[in-house]
Amino acid sequence: MNRLKLISLALAAIIVFGGCTSTRYLTDSKSIDRQHDMRANRSGVNVVDVFANMANLFISGALNTDFEISQTKRSFKRITIINESTDSLFVNMVTDIVWKESGYCDIMGIVLPAGAHQKLLVPYPAAYNVYFRTPFTEEENLEIRTDNKHRRFVLRPGMTDWMKENGN
């Protein structure tokens, strides 16, 4: 295989696998199914956008007009939850956003081992109340808003106490 094909294949693999949202640490079957459903819906929207923009490009070229990118409103965002504690974290994320009239977009039953991270697909914009604890600590609560610029959220026991003490 020539060098260009090898580089193209490697870049395609990085893009495909880097964009994946795994459900490795999810234990709740409804949350797993909802993550797969949201990912399929998001992929469908992206495919439609690509074909619409290609058609728009050809029509613009044929009519000698300006090409404008058309894009449907994105309704999902990929975030990463990171466990920085030395113990496993049990995480539940609760929101008031409804998914296809089959229930809320809650993500329940995340069990993150020490130092692990979980990528999740969440509605945009939304606010999640995140409840987390280790086997040896009390449950803590914080709010994650998906409409801000952050995509990585670090969790560790005692962080909400520190935030309260420092006025955050």
> pLDDT digits over 87-143, tens only?
999 999 999 888 777 788 899 999 999 999 999 999 888 999 999 999 988 999 999
Residue 40, pLDDT above cutoff 70: yes
CATH number, residue 125: 2.60.40
Share of the chain above pLDDT 90, in %: 36
Domain assignment present for residue 94? The answer is yes
Mean pLDDT, residues 34-46 taken together = 77
Write out the residue range of the structural domain in which residue 112 sits: 21-42+75-166
pTM value > 0.85: no
β-pair partners for 99: none
Task: Note whether 79 and 151 are within 8 A (CB).
Answer: yes
What H or E segment, with its residue span, contains residue 10? helix 3-18
Longest CA–CA separation in the chain, Å? 68
Asked if the structure places residue 66 within a domain, the reply is no
Residue 51 lies in a domain: no
Let me know if residue 65 belongs to a domain. Answer: no
